[in-house]
Amino acid sequence: MPQLQVTVGSASGLHARPASLLVQAAARQTARVTLARPGQTAVDTRSLLSVLALAAKQGEELELTAVGEDADQALAELAALITEDHDAPAAR
């Protein structure tokens, strides 16, 4: 199972807009990708409610795990979305 450590990039954490972008991208993947704080229960990245409920702050380390077809590619794409700062003026 490919895994990846990622750091939350958005200034306000994984809140509505960054989380929505992540969830929309996850829904397009064939692989099933989960997100967790190290050592804690993982949540489905296609579930906006679960991702929001993580309440992950900027700079927090999270763990992405992928299962299935094109797992590595899915991980890379979702990791990029999490580490980017979507609240930076240039990202809007």
Q: Establish if 42 lies at the interface with other proteins (CB under 8 A).
A: no
Alpha carbon distance 87, 72 (integer Å): 26
Q: Which of 38, 37, 14, 24 is nearest to 87 (CA)?
A: 14
CB of 26 to other proteins, least distance (A): 10
Do the beta carbons of residue 12 and residue 19 sit within 8 Å?
no
Q: Establish if 15 lies at the interface with other proteins (CB under 8 A).
A: yes
Q: Establish if 52 lies at the interface with other proteins (CB under 8 A).
A: yes
Q: Establish if 67 lies at the interface with other proteins (CB under 8 A).
A: no
Do the beta carbons of residue 64 and residue 75 sit within 8 Å?
yes
Interface residue with other proteins among 4, 12, 37, 58 (CB under 8 A) is 12
Q: Establish if 30 lies at the interface with other proteins (CB under 8 A).
A: no
Alpha carbon distance 57, 60 (integer Å): 6
For other proteins, the binding residues (CB under 8 A) are: 12, 15-17, 19-20, 23-24, 43-44, 46-50, 52-53, 55
